Amino acid sequence: MERNTSAAAERNKQPIAVELGALLPADARVLEIASGTGQHAVHFASQFPRMTWQPTDVGDSGLRQIEAQRSEHGRPNLLAPLQLDVLQQPWLVPADFDALVCINMIHISPWEATPALFAGAARHLRGEATLVLYGPYREGGRHTAASNEAFEGWLHSLNPRFGVRNLEDVEAAAAMHRFARTHLARMPANNLLLGFRRS
């Protein structure tokens, strides 16, 4: 099959890995939402050999990409991908994960996906688990960089329901499901990495 790769994923995988190493238990069972090309899943499984990494994606194309990456790299702690749409609840995955990681999804999906993500996390994460989000955000209703504003214009051209989310709105959606932000890291290319835990 023709392999899709993301240049952005190649650039950001190691900076994200550094943050994950500080946030997650060394032997965590991790549920990754919207694993896409599988590049992050392979890299993190390699970087953290004691973690068990469960990739997911919404569509067959993504699942095939992830499985191709998994077959090529042969990481024993990288599990076969599962199909998961955050809007279709309950999720058909186990309910014993120590962490959930979601990279670059909530801005390229309808807003309803964000509260659904926290609702699913509340069901499928253990009590002391961490939920990690990565991507661009507005802060105080304002873009933090001109590049993010231009990016949002492109997102709206794809679908007017897509967009760079307000950090405060995401935190409010988290609070509805008893998650509170405990970590914020400013990352390359004007992105944020956010950590949430149950409040």
pLDDT band at 88 (very low <50, low <70, confident <90, very high): very high
Q: Are 123 and 153 in contact (CB under 8 A)?
A: no
Cα(52)–Cα(77) distance, rounded to whole angstroms?
5
Instruction: Answer yes or no: is 152 within a domain.
Output: yes
Instruction: Answer yes or no: is 1 within a domain.
Output: no
Instruction: Answer yes or no: is 138 within a domain.
Output: yes
Instruction: Name the least confident of 10-14, 81-85, 150-154.
Output: 10-14
What is the value of pTM for the model shown? 0.95
Cα(159)–Cα(156) distance, rounded to whole angstroms?
5
Instruction: Answer yes or no: is 165 within a domain.
Output: yes
Instruction: Answer yes or no: is 71 within a domain.
Output: yes
pLDDT digits (tens, 9 = 90+) for 15-46: 999 999 999 999 999 999 999 999 999 999 99
Q: What is residue 149's predicted lDDT score, i.e. its pLDDT?
A: 96
Could you check whether the bond before residue 55 is cis, i.e. omega within 30 degrees of 0? no
Instruction: Answer yes or no: is 193 within a domain.
Output: yes
Instruction: Answer yes or no: is 17 within a domain.
Output: yes
pLDDT digits (tens, 9 = 90+) for 183-197: 999 999 999 999 999
> Across residues 117-136, what is the average pLDDT?
96
Q: What is the number of structural domains in the chain?
A: 1
- CATH code of the domain covering residue 80: 3.40.50.150
Cα(95)–Cα(87) distance, rounded to whole angstroms?
17
| Domain housing 108 | 7-23+30-198
